[in-house]
Structure 1
Amino acid sequence: MTTSRTTSQTTSLTTPRTPSRALTVHQIARPDGMPTPADFAFVESPVPVPGPGTALVENIHLSVDPYMREAMDGDWALHTPLEGRSIGRVTASRTPGLAVGDLVFHRHAWRTHALVTPADVRLLRPVEGVPLRTWLSVLGGTGLTAYVGLTRTARLQPGESVFVSAAAGGVGTAVGQFARLLGAGQVIGSTGTAAKAAHLVRDIGFDAAFDYHDAPLGEQLAKAAPDGVDVGFENVGGDHLEGLIANMRPHGRIAWCGAVAQYNGGAAPAAPRNLYDLVHRSVRLEGFLVRDHRDVQRELEDFAVPHLRSGRLVPDETVVEGIGNVVDAFLAVLRGGNTGKMIVQVGDAGE
């Protein structure tokens, strides 16, 4: 693996296939706890041919995300290609809504090729100097989650302090950079290793970060933010949420995005013992789903693109090359083996 500020880590392993064949990845078993490679199968088939009203997309970039672990427990049908955010190029079309060469965002992931209709996709507007994969990181669902959580749910105000858990992941690193660009006075994060904590401060611009294994999260957060936290961006749940609540300032807001502490089965973490403190401090805890805010996509782009061009916003990404690595990339996300957004490159971006 090589590491750089923009592309982060890159590995390469391409599963052999002939140009006339397509490869899809199926879930073939329900995992018990942490998924394993045995829960998946690679299936080769002829490249699909578009019928009337459809187009063939050759995928370039695929996203793998923590939420997919929950989907494996029942949302995804077995023995079918899996879904997820994807970027591809139209290579054949039988619909006036899509032309050969169009770059599109769609949700037919975990495969090299997909048949789509115009309703299935969003045409992408290439931006000079901005890599195409950015539409899966800070310009994609990852960035939209961070932006919505900060601006719509938590309503961050200039000068306020922000804490984000799972801060070295795709959403966490976007939250940290967006919060700074939106005028936050202090940005603090927790993560799972000392190296990641150092990365957050050195490379991403956090004011402070710590390894939550070193001591109870609430204690470490109190040291990092002795005056308390105005805005919490919660991605973990359980004791992380409890520690955050203990350090919230009066009239603070918590945007609850995920609960990675319970994604791999088993008993869910106990509810925070100090939940009633939200009442005493007039703190608002609100969960949100990014799919309810797709109308904010253009606003996100208008906000982020100038900062991408100026270099004030630098996507933090781990890029894994080759469809044959998609399962390993997904499992790495669940184990915390990435920094920033995990992206699998399966085709030629032409950049």
Structure 2
Amino acid sequence: MAAAPPSGTRAIQLAVTPKGLPGPEHFDVVTRPLGAPGPGQVVVRNRHFLVFPGLGTLIGGQVEGVPLPPVHAGDLMFGPAVGEVVAVGAGSPFRPGDLVTHLLGWREYALLEADRCGPVGDVLPSPVAHLSSGAAAYGALTRLAELRSGDTVFVTGAAGGVGTLAGPVARLLGAGRVVGSTRSPAKADRLVAELGYDAVVVPGAPGGTLGEQLGEAAPEGIDVVVDTVGGEQLTAALAAARRGARFALVGALSGQLSPDTRGGSAPVGIDTYRVVTHGISLRGYSGTDHPDVADEWTTRFGAWLRAGDLTFPHVTVPGIERAPRALSELFEGRHFGTVVVELPHG
């Protein structure tokens, strides 16, 4: 039975706008009043919320073209969350006890309009799986790259939330060889042993340049790239691309994780001559441009999870107080897969 909501809720507030990447010292745990739900509103007790690198960009105020608002000092943090409805206003389509998704994470309870919530349902075997970044990986592979059977796929940032799903999903969609990149040799080993990557390159590792490593990992060249990083890794991927290669650009972590750009710029050197002569396509992926992907992904994700064909690699961090540290650790590359904060709900 759903518990009644309290009169206030603990939440994470941005206390100070940082000059570079935000650290734990830039946040406070605060208590804010929690009103009763009015007509068409619900109160949700959050169970899990997502920690994602794009928060650095929002805090940096670089939101042009991004369908989310900036985060200023004094604002509460937000992001995808899964929780339980505990109170409803008149006319709400939900009832206490329903599980829903919404965007007001980073707090223990959220008061919001019911039409800003989505029902969890039973398509996925675990509610927390709704916080995966797999829709971006799936959409990039199916809508932009149009993956073909036997393709060689290269995934940059393969140990992140997108990359840990992009490689295995590419395999399920028919890829012949899947290569990833990560800056951690330990993560490289996990990508091969646990997620079925055929090879993983490690930028900056001794024993060969990134280009040389790619040449060994994909000796016949690359057909598809799912790029979450940009920078030198995108440059190297272009040099290894085969004729007609399709690049789906999903992220720009080389810029988002730079303390010098505030997350809103990721310059890269591109050999346009090679792009032209090899007929290479480079397209940026945005979920808002492909509204049909989310439901399609959820259906296939659920089927793959239940069949044991796919896993959801994620790290669970307990307690709202640890959320700022988890964000900092994400920027530092300490985690493997998606990072989720779990709130007590007993």
When the two structures are superposed, what TM-score results if normalisation uses the length of structure 1?
0.89
**Among 88, 100, 111, which residue is 2:83 paired with?**
88
User: Relative to structure 2, which stretch is displaced further, 30-39 or 306-315?
Assistant: 30-39
Equivalences for 1:6-45 in 2 at 5 Å?
A: 21-45=8-32
CA distance in 1, matches of 2:235, 2:78: 33
Do the aligned partners of 1:197 and 1:211 also contact (CA within 8 Å) in 2? Answer: yes
Match of 1:102 in 2: 98
Please report how far the alpha carbon of residue 78 of structure 1 lies from its aligned counterpart in structure 2 after TM superposition. 2.5
Do the aligned partners of 1:48 and 1:114 also contact (CA within 8 Å) in 2? Answer: no
CA distance in 2, matches of 1:127, 1:237: 34
Equivalences for 1:1-351 in 2 at 5 Å?
A: 21-74=8-61, 75-94=70-89, 95-127=91-123, 130-137=125-132, 142-214=133-205, 215-263=208-256, 264-266=258-260, 270-348=267-345
Please report how far the alpha carbon of residue 276 of structure 1 lies from its aligned counterpart in structure 2 after TM superposition. 2.9
Do the aligned partners of 1:234 and 1:256 also contact (CA within 8 Å) in 2? Answer: yes
Alignment deviations for residues 6-36 of structure 1 (CA, whole Å, 9 cap, x no partner): xxxxxxxxxxxx9654111111222222212
Please report how far the alpha carbon of residue 291 of structure 1 lies from its aligned counterpart in structure 2 after TM superposition. 3.0
Do the aligned partners of 2:255 and 2:267 also contact (CA within 8 Å) in 1? Answer: no
CA distance in 1, matches of 2:172, 2:7: 46
Match of 1:15 in 2: none
Amino acid at match of 1:57: V
CA distance in 2, matches of 1:100, 1:112: 16
Give RMSD over aligned pairs: 1.7
CA distance in 2, matches of 1:318, 1:279: 41
Unaligned runs of at least 5 residues, structure 2: 62-69
Instruction: Look up the SS of the partner of 1:125 in the other structure.
Output: coil
CA distance in 2, matches of 1:216, 1:123: 48
Amino acid at match of 1:85: P
Do the aligned partners of 2:34 and 2:111 also contact (CA within 8 Å) in 1? Answer: no
When the two structures are superposed, what TM-score results if normalisation uses the length of structure 2?
0.90
Do the aligned partners of 1:134 and 1:315 also contact (CA within 8 Å) in 2? Answer: yes
Residues paired across the two proteins, number: 327
CA distance in 1, matches of 2:194, 2:201: 14
Amino acid at match of 2:82: I
Do the aligned partners of 1:104 and 1:122 also contact (CA within 8 Å) in 2? Answer: yes
Do the aligned partners of 1:58 and 1:347 also contact (CA within 8 Å) in 2? Answer: no
User: Relative to structure 2, which stretch is displaced further, 93-102 or 18-27?
Assistant: 18-27
Please report how far the alpha carbon of residue 297 of structure 1 lies from its aligned counterpart in structure 2 after TM superposition. 1.6
Amino acid at match of 1:317: H
Structure 2 CA distance for partners of 1:19 and 1:54, relative to 1, 3 Å? closer
Amino acid at match of 2:41: T
Q: Percent identity?
A: 35
CA distance in 1, matches of 2:277, 2:126: 47
Do the aligned partners of 2:244 and 2:280 also contact (CA within 8 Å) in 1? Answer: yes
CA distance in 2, matches of 1:119, 1:19: 22
Please report how far the alpha carbon of residue 321 of structure 1 lies from its aligned counterpart in structure 2 after TM superposition. 0.9
CA distance in 2, matches of 1:323, 1:126: 26
Unaligned runs of at least 5 residues, structure 1: 1-17
Structure 2 CA distance for partners of 1:99 and 1:19, relative to 1, 3 Å? closer
Please report how far the alpha carbon of residue 293 of structure 1 lies from its aligned counterpart in structure 2 after TM superposition. 2.4
Structure 2 CA distance for partners of 1:106 and 1:127, relative to 1, 3 Å? same
Alignment deviations for residues 188-240 of structure 1 (CA, whole Å, 9 cap, x no partner): 00001110000000001101112212143222111100100000011111111
Instruction: Look up the SS of the partner of 1:279 in the other structure.
Output: helix
Please report how far the alpha carbon of residue 269 of structure 1 lies from its aligned counterpart in structure 2 after TM superposition. 5.3
Match of 1:10 in 2: none
CA distance in 2, matches of 1:71, 1:270: 19
Please report how far the alpha carbon of residue 40 of structure 1 lies from its aligned counterpart in structure 2 after TM superposition. 1.2
Do the aligned partners of 1:245 and 1:275 also contact (CA within 8 Å) in 2? Answer: no
Do the aligned partners of 2:42 and 2:92 also contact (CA within 8 Å) in 1? Answer: no
CA distance in 1, matches of 2:176, 2:19: 43
